[in-house]
Amino acid sequence: MNLHYITIKGDGPLNEDTLIFNEKQSLFGVADGVSSLVPFTSRENLTGGYIASHTVKDALESGEAEDQPLVEAVKKINEDLHRKMSGYGIDRHRKEQLWGTALAVVRVLDNGIEFIQSGDCMILAVYESGEVRPLTRLQVEHLEETAIEMWRECIRRGFRTRDEIMPRVKEQLIANRQLSNAANGYGVLNGEPEAVDYFEYGKINKVGLTHLILLTDGLFLPAESIPEGESYWEFIAGSILQKGIQTYAEDLIALEEPDPQCITYPRFKKSDDKAGIVMDFGRGTDLDF
């Protein structure tokens, strides 16, 4: 198995996305830190999102997940996050104060692939036939689409800067945060005990599997950039495997850079943090590029 990976800082002061590598346990993943809506930095000048994603990284790379299912390991990490936030005086009943992380983690077994996901990180399985199989789904998509449509409406009304648009969308983003680990909301690892109810996890076999692709949302292409009639995830998987993840990320940044006000491609920031891993199992694929 060959690994190809990348992580790139976006607009923020720290890269809150991180890569997880534990080759001894054949365990790999990405985590996308989510900072609180209430400004917070630790004594070490670390954001909550950075602390959360690296709490996952440190635990899974340290061997804490050995000899237990991923769901149990991540459940324990969620409890650790709760203790860390309590140590900073953060009230877990105030969702706007919470920080957390999305994640996508896999463990390669002799007879299959174990996986777990929370939030909007994605795992794509690619097969010899060319099939692209999303193992996960974007848990926040139905909420973010409402905010993005509000952003588009502002553009239609003639607004042309993020500073003009963001105040008109911010209340919706705050309302979305109140739906973490809740019915009709989304799952995220943020110390809430309910987070475990919103994990997506399971196991697939390896028959015909050629690649696994793990991505944080900073590596998702704008929907407007996908050719008409193309499957979104098939196009992304094909682009990554054709170009390599480094060039794919550079091309995405080349789309973002000329659009700092997020008008051509509606989104909430010019460039989000990025982390991705391509796991190549050394088999060819019929995926058309």
- Check if the beta carbon of residue 223 is closer than 8 Å to that of residue 141: no
Mean pLDDT value of segment 231-249: 98
Q: What is the pLDDT of residues 46-90, one digit of tens each?
A: 999 999 999 999 999 997 777 899 999 999 999 999 999 999 999
Domain that holds residue 105: 2-280
Q: Is 115 helix (H, G, I), strand (E, B) or coil?
A: strand
Please name the residue that has the structure tokens 């850079």: 257
d(CA 118, CA 101): 8
Average pLDDT score over residue span 157-184: 96
Q: 220 — phi, psi (to 5°)?
A: -80, 135
Separation between Cα atoms, residue 202 and residue 11, nearest integer Å:
34
The pTM of the whole model exceeds 0.85: yes
Please give the average per-residue pLDDT across 216-239, as a whole number. Answer: 97
The vertex-201 CA angle with 187 and 34, nearest 5°, equals 30
Is 271 part of any domain? yes
Nearest to 121 by CA among 210, 13, 224, 19: 19
Least confident of 66-75, 110-119, 264-273: 66-75
Percent of the chain having pLDDT more than 70? 98
Q: Is residue 289 part of a domain?
A: no
Q: How far apart are CA 68 and CA 252, in angstroms?
A: 37
Could you give the 3-state DSSP secondary structure of residue 130?
coil
12, part of any domain: yes
User: Looking at residue 289, what is its pLDDT?
Assistant: 43
Domain-embedded: residue 286 = no
Residue 180 predicted with pLDDT over 50? yes
Q: Are 213 and 14 in contact (CB under 8 A)?
A: no
pLDDT at 285: 65
Assigned domain for 113 exists: yes
CATH number at residue 167: 3.60.40.10
DSSP-derived secondary structure letter, 99: -
Tokens of 206: 């390896």
Q: What is the number of domains present in the chain?
A: 1
Sign for the CA dihedral angle at 57, 59, 62, 66 comes to negative
Which H or E element spans position 44?
A: none
Cβ of 21: how many Cβ atoms within 10 Å? Answer: 14
